[in-house]
Amino acid sequence: MARTVGIGLVGVGWMGRVHSIAYRRCRDHYPDLAGVARLVVAADDDAARADAAVETFGYERSTGDWREVIADPAVDAVSIATPNRLHREVAVAAAEAGKHIWIEKPVGRTPTETAEVADAVDRAGVRSLVGFNYRHAPAVRHARELISSGAIGPVDHFRSQWIAAYAADPRGVRSWRFRADDAGLGVLGDLGSHAVDLAQSLLGPIESVTARTATIVADRPLPTETGTHFALADGSERAPVENEDVVWSIVRFASGVTGTIEASRVAVGPQARYAFEIHGSRGALAWDFERMNELQLYGTKDGDTGYARIAMGPEHEPFGRFQPGPGLPMGYDDLKVIEAALFLESVVDGEQRPPGVAEALAAAKVLAAMERSAASGRWETVGDVALSHA
């Protein structure tokens, strides 16, 4: 019989809704899962959103104070889907209360806050999962297997682009993502954390970097109402953007491979070009989230050359849990269902599964080195991130 896991939610915005729906879908796609979510309490400082968590998603109650979620004895695990400024405070409090945490990247505003969350989780001995959802795409998993099996030979080239247009329009409002006190890092934390995590999950640790950052859109209109960072406004009152819009970086992996990582939230054109290319001595791989269910594979077997399109199907785990055959696409929300299942499984059996806060800290160390390099203009070694209270 499956064990019931009491869930508390902090933050009922878009991502809080995604978490809630993912928990409810787990039994559909993972009927053999050892844990089943009981949606106990949701917190949001917006009363309408808090009430919607009960009326729409089935939480037993709601509150305007996230501390009530942490204190509730029926809550075993907490989903943290807040703006970055609350990541550290909520996650540390949850860990210290013995609650397991599913938290969105980048786990804090800065690498220091990420390190403090990782330290609290480690000291408390609770399980964690971080929302690095792109690593769970079946095509990415298949790419990882091909690399580790030696199918493309020793890797010698890597390039990655994380290019989005969500802030390309200067009319895009100055939401919390553009304010240093709320977001901390800009595109480094938003898309760069995903880029680094995926690179390290494929090719191992990055040991040194050089980077440049820039803020392309210097100021943005103030929002007139609560909304997302996709919202536009034509108001004349504007305020400065306080963090970076774009980062360009060359990275060196511990394996000896050199690669590039580029991330931008202001590039006109691509909407979600979250992509990588990996070249080995006998073949190459390419993947783009905008064509999530395809992997491009280049090989020279039997004298043939050129990239072949591999459509994901039930033979590529965990595709078969969502669709019965190739050509029927999985989507973004399906990746969050995979996360929810991994999290519930870890809570029930006590086994920490990646990506947890340890992987978030590994990415944060690289981001910290990129930030240092952008300031110094030099190559920077990836090192530890000091705790503010150490």
Give the phi and the psi of residue 259 in degrees, each rounded to 5: -145, 180
pLDDT score for 304: 64
pLDDT score for 114: 98
How many percent of the chain have pLDDT more than 70? 97
pLDDT score for 300: 61
Which domains are present in the chain? 3-133 (3.40.50.720), 135-328 (3.30.360.10)
- Structure-token match 């609770």, residue found: 126
How many angstroms separate the CA atoms of 192 and 236, rounded?
31
pLDDT score for 306: 84
pLDDT score for 79: 98
| Per-residue pLDDT tens over the stretch 92-106 | 999 999 999 999 999
User: Rounded to whole angstroms, what are the CA distances from 255 to 158, 205, 246, 362, 369?
Assistant: 12, 8, 27, 16, 18
| Per-residue pLDDT tens over the stretch 157-171 | 999 999 999 999 999
Predicted TM-score of the model (pTM): 0.96
| Mean per-residue pLDDT, 361-376 | 98
Candidate from 73-77, 115-119, 227-231, 376-380 with smallest mean pLDDT = 227-231
Evaluate the omega torsion of the peptide bond into residue 138 and state whether it is cis, within 30 degrees of 0. Answer: no
How many angstroms separate the CA atoms of 121 and 271, rounded?
35
| Per-residue pLDDT tens over the stretch 286-319 | 999 999 999 999 986 666 678 999 999 999 999 9
pLDDT score for 69: 98
Reduced to 3 states (helix: H, G, I; strand: E, B; else coil), residue 161 is strand
